[in-house]
Structure 1
Amino acid sequence: MDVRRVAWWRADEGQVSAFVVVLVLGLVALAGLGLDGGLALAAKVRATGQAESAARAGAQAIDLAAYRATGTLRLVPAQADGLARRYLAGIGATGEVTATADTVAVTVTTHQRTQLLSLIGIPSIGAHGSGAAHPQRGVTELEP
């Protein structure tokens, strides 16, 4: 009976190795999704922080003449755009800036290189973050 059991295993040589190869590829893909997905999430959080900081930098371009004359806070859109773009250039980020008289909106786009997913043909994952800011006289209460 021992002889038949050995012969049965020898008859299936090669088939188990193909199964193992497919299983290992599946496990590498799942590990890649976990690792590279976490890196992509961290890149999105970083891009959002950069966009919010750039928007706050742009929101400092207050029209002082209008504020002194009427007490209204409004931005000089060209200066706000320039300050936000200068901040993005200073940290090495790329993005789009939209400035109006009351708001500066910034969207940062970045690409996170993959570690394991590059093995199956996905070299990078895109991440986007956005932020907006408007000028205020001071903080009087917490905003929701």
Structure 2
Amino acid sequence: MPDERGNALTVFVAVSVVGLLAVCGLVVDGGAQARLGRQAELVAAQAARAAVDNTATNRVAGVRTDAAAAIAAARQVLAGHPELSSQVRLVGDAVQVSTSGQVETVFLSLIGIPTLAAHGSATADLIPDR
């Protein structure tokens, strides 16, 4: 009767290695996704703030704000971050900025997950509170 301990050990090692790779993937690749998500959120907030700052003088003076100039200011900020795709919309009296990006995986690519996505968004009102 052949010794079956060697086969059991081989299965244990194989399962352990797969588990270890999955944990490494969650830590390393999940951390990269979290970092990209934070960047996407910060860039969206920065672009929305730029839109509001662009219209601040008009709002203080009581003059109607130039929505096109506000959107252009937001897009100028977003142009400095080509790694993120973005969208700027005017909804009512608010500028909505959405950003998204993808990060390539290191460990999760070994199990068929080549990229992870992250998103960010921010909204800024172009009119003063009443």
Relative to the length of structure 1, the TM-score reads 0.74
**1:90 maps to which of 50, 75, 80:** 80
**2:28 maps to which of 30, 35, 59:** 35
Q: Distance in 2 between matches of 1:59 and 1:15?
A: 65
SS class of match (1:128): strand
Question: Hey, what does 2:115 align to over in structure 1?
Answer: 124
Shift of 1:77: 1.7
Q: Distance in 2 between matches of 1:25 and 1:66?
A: 59
Which structure has the higher relative contact order (CA within 8 Å, separation 6+)? Answer: 2
Contact 1:77 1:101 in 2 (8 A): no
Q: Distance in 1 between matches of 2:48 and 2:105?
A: 29
Question: Hey, what does 2:102 align to over in structure 1?
Answer: 111
Between structures 1 and 2, the one with greater strand share = 2
**1:12 maps to which of 5, 20, 40:** 5
The letter for the 2-side match of 1:82 is A
Unaligned runs of 5+ in 2: none
Cα distance 1:65–1:117, how it changes in 2: closer, same or farther (>3 A)?
Answer: closer
Instruction: Give percent identity, aligned residues only.
Output: 35
